[in-house]
Amino acid sequence: MNAVVRPVERALLPMRAADLDAVLLIERAAYDFPWTRGNFADSLHAGYEMQALFVPQGARSALAGYFVAMMGVDELHLLNLTVTTMLQGAGHGRFMLDALCRLGVQRGATQVWLEVRESNARARRLYERYGFADVGRRRGYYPAPAGLREDAVVMSLPLRRSA
């Protein structure tokens, strides 16, 4: 009799140092100016909120995205949210934002903040549809090709506690 293998459900798990090779592959494919291994390792060491997204891949699961966030006194700052390019548009970004906001509420945050490249229209649409509002701009925040700099759009989302 053959055992039935059930696919693993989509899940967010705490990111571990052992995940960094897979995280870096996604990061480097997604961005012209990716975070380094050191950026991720330092964030792990600092105790930032870091979650790895795993999705079914046959009878196993594969790392398909992640987020990194830093908790402040009463706010959460999203530093990086990335989904592997071949799975973008499948709801994984929203799934991670849902988890991020739940985490923020659990930790007593009243607001989520982020910066996003002005040119990253896909991410900006995701954040806007989720309810984030443009609240400012950081001039020359990101590196750009040919030694230039690109502005960041600062976005914010108030967190609501459920009754």
Residues 71, 79, 125, 32, Cα dihedral to 10°: 180
Catalytic residue, chosen from 48, 49, 66, 127, is 127
Structure tokens belonging to residue 71? 């908790």
Catalytic residue among 115, 130, 141, 142: 115
* Contact present, 69 and 76 (Cβ < 8 Å): yes
Does 49 qualify as catalytic in the annotation?
Answer: no
C-alpha distances out from residue 96 to 5, 90, 93, 146, Å: 26, 12, 5, 33
Q: Is 115 a catalytic residue?
A: yes
Helix axes 20-30, 37-46, angle to 10 degrees: 130
Show which residues are catalytic: 115, 127
